[in-house]
Structure 1
Amino acid sequence: MSDLLRIVLVDDNPDDRALTLRALGQVFPDLQVEQITNAEQFTRAVEAGGFDLVITDYQLHWTTGLDILRVVKDRWPNRSVVMFTGTGNEEIAVEAMKADLDDYILKSPKHFARLPAAVRLALERARQRQALVEAETRYQSLFERVPVGLYRTTPQGQIVEANPALVQMLGYPDRRSLLAANAADFYVDSEDRRREQALLEREGLVRDFEVRIRRRDGTVIWVLDNVRAVRDAAGRVVCYEGSLEDITERRRAEEETRQRAAQSEALNAIIAAAAAARDLPRLLETALDRTLRALGLEKGSIWVAGRHIIRGLPPGIGPASMQVIQAAKPHISDAIVVEDWQQVAVGDALSAVEPLMARFGVRASLTVPILAERERIGGLNLVSLIPRSWPPRETALVEAVGRQLGTAAERLRLFQAERGQRELAEALEAAAAAVSSTLEPDEVLDRILEQVERVVAGDAFNVMLVEDGKARVVRWWGYERLGTEERVAGSAIPVTEYPNLLRMVQRGEPVVVPDTAADRDWVLVGGREWLRSYVGAPIRVRGLTVGFLNVDSAQPGRFGPADGRRLQAFADHAAIAIENAQLYRELRGHAERLEERVREQTAAIQAQYAR
């Protein structure tokens, strides 16, 4: 790098110029001086700009040193100017210094030696100024081009400075419109700003402060704020200087990762619960609660095999959920996704269900069928009270839950069927043992009722025997729990006045009444209004109906055809017991008649011999 020092010397006195050149040459060996003696030379030199420093006299025949100073500083603000004059005064010196003069030296023999030092100092200050300008330029360039929002605000929220990245981040058309806004209004939660300001007041610096802010169009973004408090000499905070980085995508990715983990955890828990389940209602509750939690929801329902579990919704939502599936008539395994029920088009298969969903305030729903052996046995319905999208991963999760529940429900059905058959076999075996262990019909019938309770889920049980066209209750079980034992014990009713009893007599088959309130043949008996479901089986001996085995329930829908078949098996055992008792009575009567005849014959013989 060259050490050449280029000086423009403006002085119309040749002797002074020679003295000046001599003084400078003694200190600066590599020196280039352009001597200026008139206005034209000065103008050319200023326009060319090929100099590092200007030395000028004050009094010139065409101008003054102040004018020279102003021209140079106007054209080259960072170039140094030293006034070396013998005609100036203090006022001129003050005015020149105000105009950014670097130094003012009087022309005198003792000051010539000071000139090189003044030049050196002026050049150093010029280098410092240039370095500062370059630093400011770099800073401004960085401020303008850095892809992070930079700002300066007052504690009250007035925006003093903002870079283009911040203008773009916050969605403003230009810097001016952003400066007219107040930073305090950007915070979604004003408590976040109060908390951040408290940290700044206490610690002076806040790093990595994650906060939600609202853009000009109202959309919400997450930003990372790094900010420091700038204080005055008295220690008061005068402004905040900081940077904002948009971390919305990062937060979205983190939230998606968290949701995926939660959904995976929920599905694994449901899979484990389904594999170990022995109780379907409990499994349904676990599956619904886990699924809602994994999707950040609070409302939904699930139904399988007549069991309905509801969370956060009125009971009527159950039928509505089932109507969604029925109305949509999708492929048997398709999910039904509705992001906004109010946007369902008229004529759409689901439009008929929209008023029902509106009644419950449902705006969005995700419904999946629960299948077993490719047959729909139920469904899982998740709802939102505001419009909501259902990302594919959420739909896939709920579909997977539905598949697990279908598999578990079928396994439990088979397990319960097997257990039911085992219990039925054990109960029938116990009933058969009772029949063969005693000829006392009352004891046998009581034991049969005990076994019926094991395999037919009723509330009360009784045996009726037919005498003279009336069915009389001879044995009973469970009515004491209902407070109706006195009404039942020994009661008798005409068979022909009760269609269900008459049907059993005529057909010899069991009768099932799932809901007595809906059965047109049901005869309501006073004091038995509680009876809502009924199953009965005829007791037949030698082709004749001699009685009935009955089971009552206070719950509608309790009994089905399978219960009728089971009950008939016990009725057949009761028939054997009754027939055995009848045969025993007949044999006993015959034996008594034989004994009587023997006694009569013996008495006759004894009387004959006595004669």
Structure 2
Amino acid sequence: MAGTIKALHVDDDPASTDLTAEFLERENENLSVVSATSAEEGLCRLAETDIDCVISDYDMPGQTGIDFLKAVREEYPDLPFILFTGKGSEEVAADAISAGATDYIQKETGTGQYTVLANRITNTVAQYRARRQSERANRRRRQTLTRITDGFVEMDADFTVTDVNEQTVELTGLAREELIGSNYQDDIVEGDSDASFEEYKHVLATGEARTIEARSDINPNRWVEERIFPTEAGDGIYVYFRDITERKRREQKLQAQTQTAPGRSR
């Protein structure tokens, strides 16, 4: 995983924190370990430093690792937290997971335990960062969708609707609950192929964006312009659409006037 991972190790034994930091940083050059010898100091470190993962002992004076975990979760509900302790029991492990620990590792003799711990930290932080990145992207997309006037529909690879914006609800006259989970081919065009669906399949198969004008599947008396894009992962499509009925009517009226003008065949 690219990028430095800054881990906080909390243990009341300074010799243990020094040894753990040395071996973790030796295992993975991207790991940088900050140490604290009490839960109180650990919370101060968290407030002062950007930490990607917390590693904590269980048996510490004043506050146990579980108490420390609960305090961390009040301020950092999603931050990776690994209980790394010599006090191994099913009860401690169950309490840790129940309190919100990301992982539980029992200390062992030998240096192999640091290889395991380094791998767990790396994998846990990778998942944490990916989840945060996805959440940020979703927030940005949601903010964008609330600002645009176009309707927006997201479909998966089976053309089942997975998301819509409020403009879609207004433009179609259907409730969000009716739209989410419906399948475009089975529930909207009722199994019949139409111009829009053929374009949807083309975009999904080729990854090439398309723009089309077609009659609305919800209201055949209306016309819509649809801009169709593949999703970032290529496992679905995004459809942005807007009502162009008035424009089409003007075009048709102008065409009819042109065809019936004097000197033109009727």
TM-score, normalised via structure 2 length: 0.66
Match of 1:223 in 2: 224
Match of 1:533 in 2: none
Match of 1:22 in 2: 22
| Structure 1 residues 76 and 243: CA distance shift in structure 2, 3 A | same
| Partner deviation per Cα, 1:405-424 (whole Å, 9 max, x = no partner) | xxxxxxxxxxxxxxxxxxxx
User: Any gaps of 5 or more consecutive residues in structure 2?
Assistant: 156-160, 180-185, 200-211, 229-237
Q: Does the CA-based 8 Å contact 2:55-2:83 persist in structure 1?
A: yes
| Partner deviation per Cα, 1:306-349 (whole Å, 9 max, x = no partner) | xxxxxxxxxxxxxxxxxxxxxxxxxxxxxxxxxxxxxxxxxxxx
Provide the C-alpha distance between the structure 1 equivalents of 2:66 and 2:83, rounded to a whole number of angstroms: 9
| Structure 1 residues 148 and 24: CA distance shift in structure 2, 3 A | same
Q: Tell me the secondary structure at the aligned position of residue 268 of structure 1.
A: coil
Find out whether 1:179 has 2:172 as its counterpart: no
| Structure 1 residues 91 and 151: CA distance shift in structure 2, 3 A | farther
Provide the C-alpha distance between the structure 1 equivalents of 2:99 and 2:260, rounded to a whole number of angstroms: 73
Match of 1:274 in 2: none
Q: Tell me the secondary structure at the aligned position of residue 129 of structure 2.
A: helix
| Partner deviation per Cα, 1:182-231 (whole Å, 9 max, x = no partner) | 67xxxxxxxxx98822226x9994545412867xxxxx74334689xxxx
Query: Which residue of 129, 132, 137 maps to 1:130?
Result: 132
Task: Give % identity.
Answer: 25
| Structure 1 residues 259 and 94: CA distance shift in structure 2, 3 A | farther
Where relative contact order (Cα < 8 A, 6+ residues apart) is larger, the structure is: 2
Q: Does the CA-based 8 Å contact 2:9-2:35 persist in structure 1?
A: yes
Match of 1:197 in 2: 190
- Residue 144 of structure 1 aligns with an amino acid whose one-letter code is T
| Partner deviation per Cα, 1:136-187 (whole Å, 9 max, x = no partner) | 334434443444212479xxxxx985313325546x8xxxxx637867xxxx
Provide the C-alpha distance between the structure 2 equivalents of 1:150 and 1:144, rounded to a whole number of angstroms: 10
Q: Tell me the secondary structure at the aligned position of residue 87 of structure 1.
A: coil
Q: Does the CA-based 8 Å contact 1:199-1:205 persist in structure 2?
A: no
- Residue 119 of structure 2 aligns with an amino acid whose one-letter code is A
| Structure 1 residues 97 and 140: CA distance shift in structure 2, 3 A | farther
Provide the C-alpha distance between the structure 2 equivalents of 1:181 and 1:112, rounded to a whole number of angstroms: 49
| Partner deviation per Cα, 1:24-83 (whole Å, 9 max, x = no partner) | 132245654332333432332333452121111122223333343344345334432222
Match of 1:231 in 2: none
Match of 2:263 in 1: 268
Provide the C-alpha distance between the structure 1 equivalents of 2:52 and 2:11, rounded to a whole number of angstroms: 17
Provide the C-alpha distance between the structure 1 equivalents of 2:135 and 2:21, rounded to a whole number of angstroms: 31
Q: Tell me the secondary structure at the aligned position of residue 104 of structure 1.
A: strand
Which residues of 2 match residues 327-338 of structure 1 at below 5 A? none
Which residues of 2 match residues 243-258 of structure 1 at below 5 A? 243-258=240-255
Q: Does the CA-based 8 Å contact 1:196-1:206 persist in structure 2?
A: no
Give the superposed CA RMSD: 4.1
- Residue 245 of structure 1 aligns with an amino acid whose one-letter code is R
Find out whether 1:211 has 2:216 as its counterpart: yes
Provide the C-alpha distance between the structure 2 equivalents of 1:75 and 1:195, rounded to a whole number of angstroms: 46
Find out whether 1:66 has 2:66 as its counterpart: yes
Q: Tell me the secondary structure at the aligned position of residue 35 of structure 1.
A: strand
Provide the C-alpha distance between the structure 1 equivalents of 2:177 and 2:124, rounded to a whole number of angstroms: 45
Provide the C-alpha distance between the structure 2 equivalents of 1:28 and 1:160, rounded to a whole number of angstroms: 40
Q: Does the CA-based 8 Å contact 1:46-1:75 persist in structure 2?
A: no
| 1:85 shift after superposition | 0.5
Provide the C-alpha distance between the structure 1 equivalents of 2:251 and 2:195, rounded to a whole number of angstroms: 29
Which residues of 2 match residues 359-438 of structure 1 at below 5 A? none
- Residue 43 of structure 2 aligns with an amino acid whose one-letter code is T
Match of 1:51 in 2: 51
| 1:21 shift after superposition | 1.8
Q: Tell me the secondary structure at the aligned position of residue 54 of structure 1.
A: strand
| 1:259 shift after superposition | 1.8
Q: Tell me the secondary structure at the aligned position of residue 109 of structure 1.
A: coil
- Residue 257 of structure 1 aligns with an amino acid whose one-letter code is L
Q: Does the CA-based 8 Å contact 1:66-1:96 persist in structure 2?
A: yes
Provide the C-alpha distance between the structure 1 equivalents of 2:78 and 2:35, rounded to a whole number of angstroms: 21
- Residue 192 of structure 2 aligns with an amino acid whose one-letter code is L
| 1:88 shift after superposition | 3.3
Q: How many residues align?
A: 230
| Partner deviation per Cα, 1:59-113 (whole Å, 9 max, x = no partner) | 2223333343344345334432222111132343345346553432211223234
Match of 2:96 in 1: 96
User: Any gaps of 5 or more consecutive residues in structure 1?
Assistant: 154-158, 173-177, 184-192, 215-219, 228-240, 271-289, 291-611
Provide the C-alpha distance between the structure 2 equivalents of 1:38 and 1:21, rounded to a whole number of angstroms: 16
Which residues of 2 match residues 79-94 of structure 1 at below 5 A? 79-94=79-94
Q: Does the CA-based 8 Å contact 1:8-1:54 persist in structure 2?
A: yes
| Partner deviation per Cα, 1:123-146 (whole Å, 9 max, x = no partner) | 222232233223333443444344
Match of 1:363 in 2: none
Provide the C-alpha distance between the structure 2 equivalents of 1:53 and 1:33, rounded to a whole number of angstroms: 10
Provide the C-alpha distance between the structure 1 equivalents of 2:255 and 2:168, rounded to a whole number of angstroms: 29
Which residues of 2 match residues 176-575 of structure 1 at below 5 A? 179=175, 196-199=189-192, 205=197, 207=199, 209-211=214-216, 221-224=222-225, 243-264=240-261, 267-269=262-264
| Structure 1 residues 98 and 263: CA distance shift in structure 2, 3 A | farther
Q: Tell me the secondary structure at the aligned position of residue 190 of structure 2.
A: helix
| Structure 1 residues 68 and 147: CA distance shift in structure 2, 3 A | farther
Q: Does the CA-based 8 Å contact 1:8-1:36 persist in structure 2?
A: yes
Pair member with larger Rg = 1
Match of 2:206 in 1: none
- Residue 36 of structure 1 aligns with an amino acid whose one-letter code is A
Find out whether 1:6 has 2:12 as its counterpart: no
Q: Tell me the secondary structure at the aligned position of residue 114 of structure 1.
A: helix
| Partner deviation per Cα, 1:532-564 (whole Å, 9 max, x = no partner) | xxxxxxxxxxxxxxxxxxxxxxxxxxxxxxxxx
Match of 2:120 in 1: 118
